[in-house]
Structure 1
Amino acid sequence: MSDFTGADLTGQSGRCFVVTGANAGIGFAIAHALAAQDARVVLACRNEDRARAAMARIVADHPAADLDFLPLDQGDLASVRAAAALAAKEPRIDALINNAGVMVPPLSFTRDGFEMQFGVNHLGTFALTALMLPLLEQTATTYGEARVVVTASIAHKKGRIAFDNLDGSQGYARMPFYQQSKLANLLFATELDRRLRAAASRVKAIACHPGVAQSELTRHIPLRRMFTPLLGMVLNTAEEGAWPALQAACDPALSGGEYVGSRGIFEARGPSGPAFRSIAARDPELAKRLWDVSVDMTGIDPGLSPAPGQPPA
């Protein structure tokens, strides 16, 4: 697998991509890049006005862009269900790019009562993916493959899953809960691909991370405005941060189960390629336990059996 940049993205005519959180930052850069390659891009966002404004910006650069808006709030399982039902009306979906997320907000909760970071970043992604799998399977059967892209983070390296404190009732710290949610993303992507392979599915699950990129995700970080000009000189731009997701969604060299991300110093910036997983992220028992807990919490079951030989939860 060679390093991947935006220059390696080839024509995507006839293909359809759903990109969550596509109205700004990395999500917008992903949508813009795909539209430039003639893909149909569905922008799945909470705010319709902001999504429409993002679509107008893309059309200004690419007048023939094929775009649509999908209302989606990953902090509300009812919204996730409704979004999946609307997405199912698409004739095909070649890739679901799970990009939306929140980072280090004060302790707060989703509409369903989950701690915000775990609820939006992991449970919302888990639920949306599970509900969209039937159309992805149909696309894969008809056209040869489809993909699920899950956005993790280098922050997962310090993450641990505190199953006894997922709601923060026994103490909450912003960054550890973010790290937990990003470890959950990586565990989910890996477990999903294992189960898809066991089911002989042609849907591939691939994880990615954007390095450390400028995006609205950092809006809750104290002193962000003060340091943004300095960070802009040393970290990924949103366009560069989009490269790993674009690789995960489109690189024909990937066979499923990979984890790709920025390969520069400390994995903070640069072209996309194979990324480092922590020991916890490689633990199949932990991944299966998280899967089962996620089914229980969301009430949504992807309907995929564990891969043979996996340990019990």
Structure 2
Amino acid sequence: MQSLRSLFSAPWSSTAKLDGKTVVITGANTGIGKETALDLAKRGAKIIMGCRDMEKAEAAVKEIIEGSASQNVSCLKLDLSDSKSIREFAEAINKEPKLDILINNAGVMVCPYGKTADGFEMQIGVNHFGHFLLTYLLIDLIKKSAPARIITVSSMAHSWGSINLEDINSEKSYDKSKAYAQSKLANVLFSHTLAKKLEGTGVTTYSLHPGVVQTDLWRHLNGPQQFVMKMVSPFTKNSVQGAQTTIYCAVEPSLENQTGGYYSDCAPAKCSAAGKDDDLAQKLWELSCRLLSITWE
């Protein structure tokens, strides 16, 4: 329904400026991450992109500088499937005087079974654990910069996901679509719990569904899935349209006092019952801390 609604409603737009603000975006060398970086650079923000492929990232930086007429755009190496890389990236970011907006955008989708450097199943490892650890390592700087925002790109796929606390890494059985949905539900639950933990700090959190977007993420779909996507492609969004809800969560002034919510088509949206399950969210939080060997009260 939501995407149909967006076809008939006026697109959201805002003239909000971000002069003097620092924004970190993960996975910003293609797709909606790149469009988000371009838009926020045009608004005057200092953009730091965390990307795995530095060659692609440097080409994207060049494009964003040309497209935004801002020189304040750079990229740093970040491989979310490797905690060593996440820690090195965070160390570099923590030298910044401030971090006003963190956008956890990078993701992998329905890929064949694989494991991260730390032994996590690839989708939960990159989409959830990688961003969980990164946010943890940057949280003091973000709090110091308040009012600040943390935005996590999830998906409507979260609504058919469930969290398997006993087998989070899908070692007993692997279904790539289920593992993807689990990782996207984890994004919603993370943002939900984080909002509670940050109450009173001036840091707000948001998770979102960008829409069904035509991006590189489709590369692992099988033949029949590719066919279905071609059939529905007139109703899908391009990367510019797909980036709008992320941008909305980053700049919309009316969201200043909202936190922990889930958004789609630049408006509050309903997330699944599991996405609002406090008990499940807390259990996932504790499991994440344990598996990452961190203490985050």
With the length of structure 2 as denominator, give the TM-score of the two structures. 0.92
Deviation at 1:12, TM superposition (A): 1.2
CA offset digits 1:143-175 (Å, max 9, x no partner) = xx0111111110011111111222222110010
Q: Please give the secondary structure, in 2, of the residue aligned with 1:166.
A: coil
- Where in structure 1 are there 5+ consecutive unaligned residues? 263-271, 305-313
Deviation at 1:249, TM superposition (A): 1.4
Q: Please give the secondary structure, in 1, of the residue aligned with 2:254.
A: coil
Tell me, yes or no, if structure 1 residue 121 matches structure 2 residue 127: yes
Could you tell me which residue of structure 2 aligns to residue 69 of structure 1?
75
Task: Output the amino acid matched with 1:221.
Answer: L
Could you tell me which residue of structure 2 aligns to residue 97 of structure 1?
103
Deviation at 1:227, TM superposition (A): 6.3
Tell me, yes or no, if structure 1 residue 174 matches structure 2 residue 168: no
1:1-150 mapped onto 2 (5 Å cutoff):
5=11, 7-140=13-146, 145-150=147-152
Could you tell me which residue of structure 2 aligns to residue 281 of structure 1?
275
Whole-Å separation in 2 of the counterparts to 1:14 and 1:177: 39
CA offset digits 1:114-136 (Å, max 9, x no partner) = 00001100000100001000110
Per the alignment, do residues 113 and 38 of structure 1 end up closer, same or farther by CA in structure 2, a change over 3 Å counting?
same
Per the alignment, do residues 43 and 6 of structure 1 end up closer, same or farther by CA in structure 2, a change over 3 Å counting?
farther
Q: Please give the secondary structure, in 2, of the residue aligned with 1:253.
A: helix
Q: Please give the secondary structure, in 1, of the residue aligned with 2:111.
A: coil
Deviation at 1:62, TM superposition (A): 2.5
With the length of structure 1 as denominator, give the TM-score of the two structures. 0.87
- How many residues in Structure 1 have an aligned counterpart in Structure 2? 286
Deviation at 1:231, TM superposition (A): 4.5
Per the alignment, do residues 4 and 28 of structure 1 end up closer, same or farther by CA in structure 2, a change over 3 Å counting?
farther
Could you tell me which residue of structure 1 aligns to residue 252 of structure 2?
251
1:101-250 mapped onto 2 (5 Å cutoff):
101-140=107-146, 145-197=147-199, 200-223=200-223, 230-250=231-251
Could you tell me which residue of structure 1 aligns to residue 285 of structure 2?
291
Query: Alignment RMSD, CA only?
Result: 1.7
Deviation at 1:229, TM superposition (A): 5.6
Task: Output the amino acid matched with 1:235.
Answer: T
Task: Output the amino acid matched with 1:165.
Answer: D
Per the alignment, do residues 126 and 235 of structure 1 end up closer, same or farther by CA in structure 2, a change over 3 Å counting?
same
Task: Output the amino acid matched with 1:105.
Answer: C
1:6–1:240 contact (8 Å) kept in structure 2 = no
CA offset digits 1:58-98 (Å, max 9, x no partner) = 12222334101121111001111111111111111111000
Per the alignment, do residues 153 and 225 of structure 1 end up closer, same or farther by CA in structure 2, a change over 3 Å counting?
closer
Whole-Å separation in 2 of the counterparts to 1:257 and 1:164: 26
Deviation at 1:232, TM superposition (A): 4.0
Per the alignment, do residues 148 and 202 of structure 1 end up closer, same or farther by CA in structure 2, a change over 3 Å counting?
same
Deviation at 1:20, TM superposition (A): 0.4
Q: Please give the secondary structure, in 2, of the residue aligned with 1:165.
A: coil
Could you tell me which residue of structure 2 aligns to residue 260 of structure 1?
263
